[in-house]
């Protein structure tokens, strides 16, 4: 925190950038509505176009272009942006955020009920969306993308319409990506810093309207802040400022520590998501499917291999002929469930042991935040695989990809290792650190085996 001053110091370039965001909120809104138009067009129009054949390209076919824009550019770069700029995507660019806030400004303005504030929603929403997306192959079929993204947008509008007054209740409590974004942004080297002394010393002003319902005065980091910049310069106490990447994790106030964050991190981001990224190229998945099929055939049970379901339950495309059988669907669920349990339990077990060795079992949840870099790397390498596959079909291949992947995996391990070391108490630290690293090493090994 900065020291209180009687006359404010000249503001740095970064601070002036934040102030500029507050001054030009109108221009930001225009851009946000531009994003809404582009998003709605890309999510809806391709669903009514024919599936392209092999002669079409990203640059001459809207279906392929939208696929590349959503899954090749949007998702991976949004994840990376969280690590670089905090949740600026949410506060400045996200079309759903813009729409839900608009709906909330014109809607019923009801109080937010207790059930909606439950901290487990981001985990539940993330897992459901990820699993359902794989079941209907959201990355390939525009109708599936319209169903998932469209349903999310409709829910964002409905929640905005019912709850809050100009707030982003959806983003704060329910958005399937909000928990992930909140965790990743805690590593960012930028944040809106609040000087508590300057705040107290400043004359009273109108309260700043923070759309995602952050208590600006007491906010200490990036988790909930969407970096919209509207509070920049408020009471001469709020400043866009640099910080050491990851320092928020090592200085997390107790009120911010949530077991649900760690459940999302271990079972969701490291577990379900890794299963979702890897199943289609996994020899384990093939072995599982063949093993179950063999047993079924031996018992004369053929239906699970010949039965399909409507496309909105399980992939079933007339145009490409791609159909998932009940067996495919069941193996998919088993693989992602197994992945969630394996990564989740190894990670949690390691953290619990580390906390015990350190002499404070309650430190388990706080320690969990040290695994954010490794989970982040998993998401980045997984999502960028899709980008590279899409570019590969266009003949664009990068020779340096294996080295880049290895470097990223190493970075995730080292960064998590450093954070875990700082989070552990001195008591039996080396031993506790080894235990805490179990989840990191297991996750990195799974990716290394998958790629190399
Ligand atoms: S605390 Fe709220 S108002 Fe301030 S930058 Fe973050 S999201 Fe915007």
Mind giving me the DSSP string for 294-331?
HHHHHTT--HHHH----TTTS-B-TTT--B--HHHHHH
DSSP notation for 209-221 = --TT---GGG--S
Nearest CA to ligand 1 atom 4: 231
Closest CA to 100 of 213, 221, 256: 213
Query: At CA 245, angle to CA 242 and CA 248, rounded to 5?
Result: 90
Mutate to test the pocket of ligand 1, among 20, 25, 216 (most ligand atoms within 8 A of CB): 216
- Nearest CA, atom 3, ligand 1: 210
Rounded Cα gap, residues 385 and 139, in angstroms: 12
**CB of 226 sitting under 6 A from ligand 1:** yes
DSSP bridge partners of 191:
241
| Pick from 229, 212, 167, 217: nearest CA to 19 | 229
Residue ranges of domains in the chain = 1-252, 257-451
Ligand 1 mean position to 227 CA, how many Å?
A: 5
How confident is the model at residue 427, as a pLDDT? 86
Measured by CA distance, the residue closest to atom 8 of ligand 1 is 228
CB atoms within 10 A of CB 317: 17
Read off the tokens for 307.
């039965």
pLDDT given for residue 208 in this prediction: 86
Pocket-testing residue among 97, 178, 181, 225, ligand 1, by greatest number of atoms within 8 A of Cβ:
225
Cα 419 to averaged position of ligand 1 atoms, centre (Å):
26
H/E segment holding residue 191: strand 190-194
Ligand 1 site, residue 229, Cβ cutoff 6 A:
yes
pLDDT of residue 8: 54
Two tokens, residue 357: 């060795």
Closest atom of ligand 1 to CA, residue 229: 5
Distance from Cα 201 to the centre of ligand 1, integer Å:
20
Tell me, what DSSP letter sits at residue 11?
P
Pocket of ligand 1 contains residue 212 by CB under 6 Å: yes
> Smallest Cα–Cα separation from 94: which of 226, 230, 190, 210?
226
| Distance from the alpha carbon of residue 9 to the mean position of ligand 1, in angstroms | 22
Cβ 210 under 6 angstroms from ligand 1:
yes
225 lines ligand 1 (CB under 6 A): yes
- Say if ligand 1 is within 6 A of residue 18 CB: no
Find the helix or strand (DSSP H, E) in which 242 lies.
strand 238-242
Q: Give me the pLDDT at residue 219, please.
A: 80
Give the atom of ligand 1 at the shortest distance from the alpha carbon of 91: 7
CA of 126 to the centre of ligand 1 (A): 24
pLDDT at 222: 63
Distance 112 CA to ligand 1 centre (A): 19
Place of tokens 């009471």: 235
Q: What is the chain's pLDDT, residue by residue, as a tens digit (452 residues)?
A: 343 444 455 679 999 999 999 999 999 999 999 999 999 999 999 999 998 888 899 999 999 999 999 999 999 999 999 999 999 999 999 999 999 999 999 999 999 999 999 999 999 999 999 999 999 999 999 999 999 999 999 999 999 999 999 999 999 999 999 999 999 999 999 999 999 999 999 888 788 889 999 999 888 776 899 999 999 999 999 999 999 999 999 999 888 999 999 999 999 999 999 999 999 999 999 999 999 999 999 999 999 999 999 999 999 999 899 999 999 999 999 999 999 999 999 999 999 999 999 998 889 999 999 999 999 999 999 999 999 999 999 999 999 999 999 999 999 999 999 999 999 999 899 999 999 999 999 999 999 999 99
Residue of 17, 91, 92, 207 best suited for mutating to test ligand 1, as the one with most atoms within 8 Å of CB: 91
Ligand 1 mean position to 165 CA, how many Å? 16
């Amino acid at each position: 925190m900065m020291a209180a001053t009687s006359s404010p110091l000249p503001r740095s370039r970064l601070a002036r950038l934040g102030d500029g965001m507050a001054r030009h909120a109108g221009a930001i809104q225009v851009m946000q509505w531009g994003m809404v138009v582009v998003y709605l067009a890309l999510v809806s129009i391709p669903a009514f176009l024919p599936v392209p054949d092999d002669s079409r390209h990203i640059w001459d076919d809207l279906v392929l272009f939208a696929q590349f824009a959503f899954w090749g550019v949007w998702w991976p770069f949004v994840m990376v942006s969280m690590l670089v700029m905090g949740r600026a995507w949410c506060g400045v660019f996200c079309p759903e955020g813009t729409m839900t806030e608009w709906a909330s400004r014109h809607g019923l303005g009801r109080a937010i009920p207790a059930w909606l504030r439950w901290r487990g929603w981001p985990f539940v929403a993330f897992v459901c969306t990820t699993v359902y997306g794989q079941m209907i192959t959201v990355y390939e079929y525009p109708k599936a993308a319209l169903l998932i993204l469209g349903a999310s947008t409709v829910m964002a509008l409905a929640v905005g319409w019912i709850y809050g007054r100009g707030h982003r209740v959806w983003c704060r409590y329910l958005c399937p990506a909000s928990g992930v974004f909140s965790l990743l942004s805690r590593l960012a080297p930028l944040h809106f810093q609040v000087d508590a002394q300057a705040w107290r010393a400043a004359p009273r002003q109108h309260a700043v309207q923070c759309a995602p319902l952050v208590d600006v005065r007491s906010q200490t980091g990036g988790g909930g802040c969407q970096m919209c910049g509207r509070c920049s310069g408020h009471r001469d106490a709020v400043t866009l400022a640099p910080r050491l990447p990851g320092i928020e994790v090592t200085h997390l106030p107790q009120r911010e520590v949530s077991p649900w964050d760690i459940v999302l991190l271990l079972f969701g981001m490291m577990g379900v998501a890794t299963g979702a990224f890897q199943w289609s190229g996994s020899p384990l998945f093939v072995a599982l499917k063949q093993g179950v099929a063999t047993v079924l055939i031996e018992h004369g049970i053929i239906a699970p291999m010949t039965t399909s379901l409507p496309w909105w339950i399980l992939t079933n495309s007339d145009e490409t002929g791609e159909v998932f059988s009940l067996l495919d669907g069941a193996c998919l669920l088993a693989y992602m469930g197994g992945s969630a349990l394996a990564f989740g339990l190894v990670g949690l077990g390691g953290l619990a042991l580390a906390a015990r060795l350190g002499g404070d079992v309650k430190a388990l949840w706080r320690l969990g935040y040290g695994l954010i870099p490794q989970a982040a790397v998993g998401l980045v390498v997984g999502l960028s695989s899709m980008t590279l596959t899409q570019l590969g079909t266009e003949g664009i291949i990068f020779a340096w990809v294996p080295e880049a992947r290895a470097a990223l995996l190493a970075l995730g391990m080292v960064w998590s290792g450093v954070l875990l070391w700082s989070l552990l108490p001195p008591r039996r630290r080396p031993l506790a650190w080894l235990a805490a690293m179990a989840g990191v090493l297991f996750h990195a090994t799974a990716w290394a085996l998958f790629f190399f």
